[in-house]
Chains A and B, each alone.
Chain A
Amino acid sequence: DAMVIQNPRYQVTQFGKPVTLSCSQTLNHNVMYWYQQKSSQAPKLLFHYYDKDFNNEADTPDNFQSRRPNTSFCFLDIRSPGLGDTAMYLCATSRDGRGGTGDTQYFGPGTRLTVL
């Protein structure tokens, strides 16, 4: 089945130690998104890629970066994680993020990151 896959599902890291989260998709969608979801809160968009074009949200900390080496893969890099970065990180894809009729975001299962 076509899907969005995230690895690892659980990640524990130390304060200040860089960490990379991975997302892959078999949907062949143009757009890939990264969201941060803290406990009991709504998902918050960090950034997205439309194909190779990177779009950062204005309030996303510089500590968060992303790479998309090809259509299928997208990575979230946290350069120096702080305690406040403990959260669920969700990857999503959509066929065309430019508001085409019927566009929908499909989510992966998430990576739960704990910063100690």
Chain B
Amino acid sequence: AQSVTQPDIHITVSEGASLELRCNYSYGATPYLFWYVQSPGQGLQLLLKYFSGDTLVQGIKGFEAEFKRSQSSFNLRKPSVHWSDAAEYFCAVGPYSGGYQKVTFGTGTKLQVIP
């Protein structure tokens, strides 16, 4: 069965500092990988996704993520955090091909940005 682990429940960074959110996945074949962001009381917005090809993926709002098959990781990064980035971030994994695409979410990482 597929699964996602986000080991950091809560992270605090200073505005302007760099950010890395960790995500490890378990999946038996080539996965689809996603990062979503959720502001308080809102739905999930897609930041970026990886299906195949270049392992460094660029997303919206200046975010990027790197797929590392050997480490089963898909960490999210941003070089300089803005106060508006404070939100909860969810990593998710889905099957690459065939069958019904059931996406499994991690438990999320809450990001706090301090001045």
Using CB atoms and an 8 Å cutoff, list the residues of chain A in contact with chain B: 4, 6, 40-43, 45, 48, 50, 55, 90, 92, 94, 97-99, 101-110, 112
Contact = CB atoms under 8 A, between A and B. Distances in A.
Contact of B43 (A42, A48, A55, A109): A109
Contacts of B94: 99
B74 interface: no
Chain B interface mostly: loop
Interface of B: 32, 34, 36, 41-46, 49, 51-52, 90, 94-103, 105-108
Contacts of A40: 108
Given A42-B90, A110-B43, A99 B97 contact: yes
A77 to B, nearest CB: 20
A112 B97 contact: no
A94 B101 contact: yes
Nearest to A42: B105
